[in-house]
Amino acid sequence: MAGLDLIFDIDLDQIAGVRDDLTRSHLRAAKDAVADTTKWLERELEAITRGAVPGRLWRAWASNVYPREKGKIARDPAGEVYVNGRDRTVGAMTFWSKPGRIVGKRGQWLAIPSAAVPRRGRKRQPLTPVEVEAEFNKELIFLPPGRGSKYASLVLEGVTNGRTGAFRPRTRQRVAADRRRGIERHLERILMFTLIPFVAHRNAFAVEPVVFRAGRRLTDEYVARAGRIR
What pLDDT does 69 receive?
85
User: 125-144: per-residue pLDDT in tens?
Assistant: 999 999 999 988 889 999 99
Rounded to whole angstroms, the Cα distance separating 27 from 9 reads 30
Q: Looking at residues 18-23, what average pLDDT do you find?
A: 69
Q: Looking at residues 36-65, what average pLDDT do you find?
A: 96
User: 161-189: per-residue pLDDT in tens?
Assistant: 656 656 666 666 666 666 667 666 667 78
In terms of Cα–Cα distance, which of 144, 143, 140, 145 is closest to 156? 140
> 173-197: b or e for each residue (b if 16 or more CB lie within 10 Å)?
eeeeeeeeeeeeeeeeebbbbbbbe
In terms of Cα–Cα distance, which of 116, 117, 112, 118 is closest to 162? 116
> 110-140: b or e for each residue (b if 16 or more CB lie within 10 Å)?
ebebbebbbeeeeeeebbeeeebbeebeeeb
Q: Rounded to the nearest 5°, which phi and psi values hold at 193? A: -140, 140
Domain boundaries, given as residue ranges, for the chain:
15-99+204-226, 101-199
User: 70-120: per-residue pLDDT in tens?
Assistant: 778 888 899 999 999 999 999 999 999 999 888 877 778 899 999 889 888
What pLDDT does 3 receive?
55
What pLDDT does 215 receive?
94
